[in-house]
Structure 1
Amino acid sequence: MSLFDSITPKDLSVLANLVALTLTDGKSASDNNVLGNFLAAISANILNIASQQENLKSLEEKQNQIKDLQKQIKQLKK
């Protein structure tokens, strides 16, 4: 089970707000700007990794489908 499987979208939104408020409390606008940009960079990297994971999984599934079709063709030729 994934960490996020049991969290509703509403709860996830509330959690994100709480984390943001906690991280920015008592810090200057300049510090918060740097922190926000840093977290945005991390987020972009996480999304890039997830995208490539999905791409590789899709490619593997397509290769498996091709192998299955090739097996079926060989069987039909017999």
Structure 2
Amino acid sequence: MVSAEQIREHMEVRALDGAHVGTVDHMEGSSRIKLTRTDSPDGQHHLIPLDWVDHVDQHVHLSKPLEEVQIQWTVPN
């Protein structure tokens, strides 16, 4: 299981299919990753749950393909 402590600012987030999802802005609490808005297709921050993370090395690797991630991610209030 991946822990929030493994996730660092500016790490690249990659989807299951290898596509670039975004860049980590910071952890939002202990269960969600907030992505930078400057690296976003719509210019907004997006949140993805830590549960979607498959593993972490120099990148954050998700267990979902890009299309599914973009349908299910949320925008902070």
- Shorter-chain TM-score category? under 0.3
As a proportion of its length, which structure holds more helix? 1
TM-score by length of 2: 0.23
Larger Rg: 1
TM-score by length of 1: 0.23
As a proportion of its length, which structure holds more strand? 2
